[in-house]
Each structure stands twice: as structure tokens, then as C-alpha cells.
Structure 1
Amino acid sequence: MYFLGIDLGSSSIKLSVLDAERGTTVSSVTVPEFEMEITAPQFGWAEQDPENWWQYVKNGIALLKTKHNTDISKIAGIGIAYQMHGLVLTDEKLNPVRPSIIWCDSRAAQIGDSIYNSIGAQKCQSQILGSPGNFTASKLKWVKDNQPELFDKAAHVMLPGDYIAAKLSGVAQTSTSGLSEAALWNFPEGRLATEVLDAMGLPERLIPEIVPNFGNQAQIHPDVATELGLNPQVKITYRAGDQPNNALSLNVFKPGEIATTAGTSAVVYAVSKNDIYDANNRINTFLHVNNAPNDKHNGVMLCINGSGILYQWLRKIMSTDRNGLISYEALNAEAAKAQPGSKGLRFYPFGNGVERIFNNKQVTSGIQNLNFNIHQSAQLVRSACEGIVFAMNYGFDVMKSIGAGGDLVRAGEANLFLSPVFREIFANTTQTTVELYNTSGAEGAARGAAYGYGYYASIGEAFEKLECLECIEPTAHLTSQYADIYNEWKNNINLQE
């Protein structure tokens, strides 16, 4: 029996098919060939067309069949992971009424701050464990205030993965963890945070059917099954935001376990059984995928917006070859030519929207100490890697201060964690052991779908075949060296605000 995992990112969409009996991936594809477009109609805005996502998903399913000769008729269930905090508004027929306002869009940050102040810090933090900030609810309020003619056309508000599920099934739904990502979940009472809706003047009618992360959520629409060549009995049995799903992909379910990733954005995500929060709203708490009414599991998360997108920017500006862009492997090799500290060059990776670790301030990126006679491309690339890790560690320190720390972190062998230099910087700056696994968000979503379908008796059984590829331990001389470099970097952050 096969299960399909779909991982909807902001740069690409990955699809993987899992053979549940063998516990191994049959085939995987990534679409489109190059990064998906993000449009910015104004400074600080970021939008994507949901209909493009849906077309790419269909293209990916076709590629699984044609390029990899995968018998997709064996697929029994579908799991969906998706970029968090995006806003998708559709009409009754599930047609988008406007482009999606995605996670790195900053336009609604002031709205979130205003609602936070009107409700009251103590009430917000006790109920939604933070501020509405720049999350989905605030983006919905922005549309209501600034595009009322489009707001009036909307019948459903969904997150990006909910939209893909709706296109597959014909049914508008969202999940409990999705509502927590949207700042619309009352944690103590385990329900929709109607308090936030009321404070924003938003109608509850826009919230679609609420389903758990795992289980028989919906069945594929017959017409869609015919169009895609899927079995008409296929069910959607799992959905989650990309970071809770990354933790699932790495078998991170228990309190004290930590997952990390460094894709377009960089994230550290720790599991806790407590409703904890940062009084300054620099980190965020969401429902983890295995949360249950009588068995609380939360995900405590820090996010740095400028991570892989910084690496993507470096790749573009360093590509002078007429034959195309240099590879990420070449960038990794270039970083390895430089020594720790990059000869004093310091990179601040804050150039992709407001940063939560700075209370949703619009912080710009910057390079310090650049000397044209000393610094070459190797130092530039390595300093970018160091800056990304230092920003992650800045947030990690906040997590540890509220009881969400640990000394072992799991990561997938993907994105920036493909770089040995990046892994070395991370292990020694955070002073944690890094376990590296050969998995992906799409594979994790497929395993989640198999568990949600009921193929596996327990969630642990779904990950019995997951193997650690490498273990990176911090070393005394490097931790000391990076502590000094990090402290210098941190002491100059205010210059970048």
C-alpha cells in the first residue's frame, strides 16, 4: 500500500510516495524546475497564486507516474505539509478571491500589535500563548480593512495546505494545529479563539470545518481522481504546517526533543507538554501534530526569515557564468575554504520581512567589517552561514530561557544542512549534538498519512526504518572559538535595526 506526501513550500513543492509495507520511499519529485515566484506589490509584501500551487501539485503527480513509473493507483492516503501562516481566501467554489498573503509578508504586523494591546498582553498570552503578530488572523483583518470588496466575496479562510486538500477533495477544512498557527486557538480551553475573531471584527462563518491532524479528513473528489489517475477511494489522512511536519519527519514527538531545518527560513522547534510562551513574543508556541485533548503536546518554535533565501541570493549574485547559476554544492565548497570567523566579516541575515525574534520589527540585512583587500568569496559565503546560525542561536537562547531547551537536535540532510561547514557551525555555536537523517518533509507527510490512515498501529511504528546518517558532536576548541565570534556578532545586532 502506497501513501503520497505533498510538501508545499514557498520555493518549491516536493512529492514523495511511501511504500508503507517496506517503510521506504518509492519515488520523489520536486516542482517546478526553478524556484516558484514570490511577488511583492509593495515593500514588505509577499504573495503567491494558490492556483499555481495546485497546478504544480498536479504536474508533480503526473511526473511520479511518467518519470518514475510509479503505480499511483496504489496510493491509499495523502498527507499534506505546507508553508505556515499563509492566508488563502476562496469563494464557495474554492476559487481564490485574491493571491495568498504568505508567511514572510509583513503588512499585518501592526494590526497584530494593535489587537494584542486592545485584548491585553496577559489575556493574549494566557489564551493564544503570544500575540496575533503577523500571523494569518492579522492578515485576514488586513484584507477586511483594506480590500473590503474582496473580503465580501470570501466564503472560506484557509491555510495553504488546506487549500490543496480542498482542491483534492472539494471540501473546505482546516486543522486544530492550523488554527494555532493562525493565532486562532485557545490553548487552555482547546477551542477556536473566538476572542481574537471578535476583537478583529471577523465573522466565524469564514472558518471551515475543523479536523484533527491525523485521521480520515476527506475523500478525494471523483472528478479529481479521474483527472489525476488516482484511486477514487483515496483519502486525505494528515495535514500539518511545515515545521510541525519537519519535526514529525525526524521522529520528534516527546518533550525535550528538538528538530531544526534551514530552508528558505531557518527554524528550531522543540516539543513541550506545557503551555509556555515568551513574554516578549520572540518565539511562538503551536499545537504539535500529536497533541490530544488529554495528552498535551506543543511545539515551541523560533524562526529566522533570512536563511536559505540568503543563500539563494548569494547564488544569484555570484553567478557570472553564461551557462547558468552556480550550484549550491559550489557555494558549500567555497565556504569550506574560509576559516571560522571569516577573517572578521560579519553577516546579519535579516532581509526577508519582519523578524519575530525582534518583536516583528522590520530589520534589514547587513555586512560588517568588509575589507576589499582581505575578504574574498569564501569569507562572504562562510560569514553568511555563520550569520544564519548565530541568528538561530539568538532565538535558541530565548527558547532555553523558558524551558524549551535540549542538547540533541535532529535535522534532515537537506538545504543548508547539506553543508558540512554549516553543520559544524551549528553544532559548535549551539553546543548541541546534531543527528542527521535522510528524510524530507514530503516523506514525513507520507508517513503521517500512513499513520492517519491506520496502516501503522502507532506513530513510532511509522518511523522504525528511519536511520541516522551522521552524528556531529561539538568540540571544545571550536565551541570556545564560536562563543567569542557569536558574542561579538550579537553585541552589534542593534546596529542592524
Structure 2
Amino acid sequence: MLLLGIDIGTSAIKISVVDAHDQKCLASLRYPEVEETAILTPKTGWAEQSPDMWWEHVQQAILSLNNKKLYNPHDIKAIGIAYQMHGLVMVDKELNNLRNAIIWCDSRAVNIGERAFHALGEERVLHSLLNSPGNFTASKLGWIKENEPAIYDKIYKVMLPGDYIAMKLSGSITTSISALSEGIFWDFQHKCLSAELLNYFGFSTDLIPTIKPLFQEHGSLSKGVADKLGLTVGIPISYKAGDQPNNALSLNVLNPGEVAATAGTSGVIYGVSDQLVYDQLSRVNTFAHVNYEPNDPKVGVLLCINGTGILNRWVKEQFGKELDYEAMNQLASLVPLGSEGLKILPFGNGAERILENRILGAQLANLDLNKHQREHIFRASQEGIAFSFRYGLDIMRANGMSPQVIRAGRANLFLSDLFAQIFVNVTDVPVELYNNDGSVGAALGAGIGAGVFGTPEEAFQNAKALKVIEPKADWNYEEEYQQWLQLLMGQLR
């Protein structure tokens, strides 16, 4: 039996086909192959993508992978979906998309979320929603209601990106508690949709899709789509989760105290807790994890830095276009620890939650035109990203989350041995690297939802760490981090 996983990223779609018997990936593909952002920015601070582009890329990815003849497409028996979190997709009664999706790094709704936070009562909101409405999906919908009322009046259902792709595959529209929590619609105290938030914004409950358990059928593949993609009619879409809960699942991070990390377009540390914890300033955020149950509230505490991998890509485009990332890392390795004073703040991708939703912009400091070369920028960018992880991790530690080890997939920035070692020494936490990614996690999640595996743990019984990276005794980054922190604090005053 085969399982198909779809990961809807910001820069590309990644799909994998996994053999349920041994949990091994038989084939995977990224579409489009050439890295691109495809983010539309009609105004400063805005970030949009076309849901129909996602759908077109999903179809092309599946057809391209099928054409490689590495498996029989009709042996695929379940589909799982992971997706970029916090986006807003809206459809009318004919299930037509009403406008471009407002995606996770869009900053337009910050003020709307802040107004709701103050009006509803900050402590009351944190106690029930575990987050400020901030710049999340509910606030983005509030922006639509205020600024595009003609579109708002046509809305039949609001969805997250993964819900939209599941709808295109099946014709069904569903959601889950985990998805609702990432939109800041879920009341953790009353264990239901937040009546207070819906009433404040004037949202009808009719806009919310049918709520189903995360590991359950969310529709079945329609005949038209199955025929077009060469798949079997009626196979279930049996799993949907945001990319960070899904990344944690793919690393078998399911129990309190376990922690996952990723460093793709954004950078994330995600730790599991059985306490309904929250940060008073909502700099780190708490959402229902994939195995959350109202009477067994496992939650994920999420630190997100918008400007991580996107900075690394920008640096490549500006200073190393003829190089691949491995060559960039080799050059960066020739530069001493601390990049000879060069410091970079990697905050150039919208409002940063760890900075209380400030839009700071990426900044380069202490540039010496007589000394610094492009290899210094290559290393300083990776150090700046690691420093921002440390800054956020210290916030998590202050909120009771103190990881002894962090699990990460060997992907994106963690493909760089240099970055992985910098990350470990800056945070002073060992990292276990696994050969896994979000699309494989989504495929295995589909197997859990379809009942192929009895428990989530069973789905990852064969997972083994590729390597464990420990802090190097001679790589003391504390002084360099304090210099970087002083630079950041100067910008935040």
C-alpha cells in the first residue's frame, strides 16, 4: 500500500510517495524545480499567493512524479496534506476562489488584531485563545470585512491553504481543531469555537467549515480529478495539518518536552506541552498539536522567524548567483567565527511575532569595505539567523520550554553542516538530524488517518537519526551573540 503526501510550501509544492509497509519514501518531487517565491506584494507589508497556482502546481507535481514510473499510481490508497499556516482562502457557494490568499507573512491585519486583543481584554484572550489575534487568519478575515465588503458578502466558507487543496481534490470542505487554533478561532477553555471572537468581528459560524478530527477522512478523491491525475477514485484525504505541526509529526515529536525545528523560508522551533501555556506578549504562540484532544490537550508552542531561509536565498541571488548553496557554505566556512564583526538582522519578511509584530527590516551592520568580502556576508547571514533562533528560544525558555535536544529534518538550511553547527553552538542545544521532510510526514499522517497505522508512533517506528550534532567546545558564540543582541535592542528602542 502506498501513501501520497503533499506539502504546500511558500516557494514550491513538494510531494512524496511512501510505502506504508516500511515507511520508506519511494519517490519525491519538488514543483516547480527552480526555486521561486511567487509571492505577490501589491503594497508594502502585504503578501499574497494565488490558490489556483497552488492547485495547478499540485496537479503538475503529481503527474510529473507518476511519469517517472517508480511506482503504480493505483497503489496509492490515502492522501495527506501539509500546508503553510495562517493563510486565508475564501470561496463562494460555487466553490470558486474569491481573491488571492492572504498568506502567513502578510502584515496588513496587525492593527486589526491588536484592536481585538485590547477590546476583548488581553488576559482574557490569552487565557482562552492562548494568543493575541495578532496577524493570524481571523484578523485577516476582519481586514477583508472592513476593506473589501463586496468580497466578504460573497464568502461561503473560509479556509486555510490545505483545506483549499483538499476541496479541489474532493469537493468537500472541512477543518480541524488544530487548523482553527492556528487561525485563532478556537477557545481552549470552553473547548469550542470562540463565541467572543466571532461576535467581536461579526463573523457567522456558517463561514467555518465542518470540524473533523485531524486524523480522519476529509473527503475522497473525485472521479474527474482521479481520471486526470491517474489515481483511484474515492481514495481518502485522511490527514491535513499546518506545516509546523506536520514537521513535528514527521520527526515523531508528539509528547510533552519533545522539540522540532525547521529552517525553510521561515525558521521555527516547535515544542510540545500538555499545559495550556502562553506568552504574555504573544511573541511565541500556542496551537493545538496534531494529537490534541479536548480532554488531552497536547499543544505546540511555536517560535517563528519570518526572515530565515528567505534571507539565505536573497544573499545567494545578490552575491552568489553563479554558486550553489554548498559552494556558498564552503566559502563561509573560511571566515572566522563572528564574521570579523559583520552582523545581520534577518527580519526582512514582514511583521515578526518575536518582535511583538514589529516590521524591522533586514539590516547589515559594521560593514568594513576594506575587509569584508561576500564570504563574510554568507557566514554572517547564517549567524544572524542562528542568533534570531537563540533570541526566540530564550523567550520559550522563559515560558517553561527548555529543550534538551532538538530534532530537525536534513533539509533547507539544515543541509548546511556549517549552519547546523552554528545553530547548535549559539543555542547550546544538540540537534538530531533525520532524513525526513514535510511531504513524507504528510504521507505517513495519511496512513494514520486511514487506519493503516494503529498509532502515530507506529508510523515512525523505523525513523533513525542520521547524525547528532553536539556543541563544539572551541566555538564560543556568547560574546558574538551579545553584540548582535545589543544591535537588535538598539533597533527596537
Question: Quick one: distance in 1 between partners of 2:328 and 2:199?
Answer: 49
Q: What residue in structure 2 maps to residue 387 of structure 1?
A: 384
CA contact (8 A) 2:222 2:234 kept: no
CA contact (8 A) 1:7 1:80 kept: yes
Q: What residue in structure 2 maps to residue 448 of structure 1?
A: 445
| 2:471 alignment partner, one of 444, 466, 474 | 474
Q: What residue in structure 2 maps to residue 44 of structure 1?
A: 45
SS of match in other structure, 1:421: helix
Q: What residue in structure 2 maps to residue 90 of structure 1?
A: 91
Question: Quick one: distance in 2 between partners of 1:125 and 1:162?
Answer: 26
Shift of 1:384: 0.4
SS of match in other structure, 2:108: coil
**Aligned partner letter, 1:123:** R
Question: Quick one: distance in 2 between partners of 1:98 and 1:241?
Answer: 21
CA contact (8 A) 1:129 1:276 kept: yes
Q: What residue in structure 2 maps to residue 60 of structure 1?
A: 61
Map 1:249-260 → 2, pairs under 5 A: 249-260=250-261
Map 1:134-153 → 2, pairs under 5 A: 134-153=135-154
Shift of 1:258: 0.5
Q: What residue in structure 2 maps to residue 376 of structure 1?
A: 373
**Aligned partner letter, 1:219:** S
Give CA-to-partner distance per residue, 1:22-80, whole Å, 9 cap, x none.
22011101001222411100000000000010010000110111024431111111110
CA contact (8 A) 1:364 1:496 kept: no
**Aligned partner letter, 2:427:** T
Which moved further from structure 2: 86-95 or 126-135? 86-95
Shift of the 66–471 alpha-carbon distance from structure 1 to 2, 3 Å rule, reads same
SS of match in other structure, 2:335: coil
SS of match in other structure, 2:295: coil
Shift of 1:202: 1.6
Question: Quick one: distance in 1 between partners of 2:321 and 2:230?
Answer: 43
Q: Does 1:488 align with 2:480?
A: no
Shift of the 285–448 alpha-carbon distance from structure 1 to 2, 3 Å rule, reads same
| 1:351 alignment partner, one of 348, 353, 356 | 348
Give CA-to-partner distance per residue, 1:87-128, whole Å, 9 cap, x none.
001112221100000000000000000000000001100110
Shift of the 320–272 alpha-carbon distance from structure 1 to 2, 3 Å rule, reads closer
Q: Percent identity?
A: 48
Map 1:305-316 → 2, pairs under 5 A: 305-316=306-317
Q: What residue in structure 1 maps to residue 30 of structure 2?
A: 30
When the two structures are superposed, what TM-score results if normalisation uses the length of structure 2?
A: 0.98
Shift of 1:260: 0.2
Q: What residue in structure 2 maps to residue 200 of structure 1?
A: 201
**Aligned partner letter, 1:487:** Q
Q: What residue in structure 1 maps to residue 222 of structure 2?
A: 221
SS of match in other structure, 2:317: helix
Question: Quick one: distance in 2 between partners of 1:319 and 1:473?
Answer: 30
Map 1:94-113 → 2, pairs under 5 A: 94-113=95-114
**Aligned partner letter, 1:75:** I
Aligned length: 491
Shift of 1:336: 1.2
Question: Quick one: distance in 2 between partners of 1:437 and 1:496?
Answer: 37
Which moved further from structure 2: 211-220 or 135-144? 211-220
Question: Quick one: distance in 1 between partners of 2:208 and 2:6?
Answer: 23
Shift of 1:140: 0.4
Shift of the 320–282 alpha-carbon distance from structure 1 to 2, 3 Å rule, reads closer
Map 1:348-427 → 2, pairs under 5 A: 348-427=345-424
Question: Quick one: distance in 1 between partners of 2:331 and 2:12?
Answer: 25
SS of match in other structure, 2:477: helix
**Aligned partner letter, 1:73:** H
SS of match in other structure, 1:6: strand
Q: What residue in structure 2 maps to residue 3 of structure 1?
A: 3
Shift of 1:320: 5.4
CA contact (8 A) 1:256 1:270 kept: yes
Structure 2: runs of 5 or more not aligned:
none
Question: Quick one: distance in 2 between partners of 1:471 and 1:249?
Answer: 17
Q: Does 1:465 align with 2:462?
A: yes
Map 1:273-288 → 2, pairs under 5 A: 273-288=274-289
Shift of 1:211: 1.3
RMSD: 1.1
**Runs of 4 or more off by more than 6 Å in structure 1?**
none
Q: What residue in structure 1 maps to residue 18 of structure 2?
A: 18
Map 1:106-121 → 2, pairs under 5 A: 106-121=107-122
Shift of 1:334: 1.9
Q: Does 1:431 align with 2:428?
A: yes
Question: Quick one: distance in 1 between partners of 2:107 and 2:90?
Answer: 18
Question: Quick one: distance in 1 between partners of 2:30 and 2:343?
Answer: 33
Q: What residue in structure 1 maps to residue 270 of structure 2?
A: 269
Give CA-to-partner distance per residue, 1:408-466, whole Å, 9 cap, x none.
00000000001111111111111111000000000000011111110111211100121
CA contact (8 A) 1:348 1:496 kept: no
Shift of 1:476: 3.0
Shift of 1:496: 3.0
Shift of 1:214: 0.3
Q: What residue in structure 2 maps to residue 333 of structure 1?
A: 330
**Aligned partner letter, 1:486:** Y
Give CA-to-partner distance per residue, 1:348-375, whole Å, 9 cap, x none.
0000000001110111111111001111
When the two structures are superposed, what TM-score results if normalisation uses the length of structure 1?
A: 0.97
Give CA-to-partner distance per residue, 1:293-345, whole Å, 9 cap, x none.
32220000110000010011011112454xxxx32222222221111100010
Shift of 1:251: 0.6
Map 1:232-251 → 2, pairs under 5 A: 232-251=233-252
SS of match in other structure, 2:466: strand
SS of match in other structure, 1:67: coil
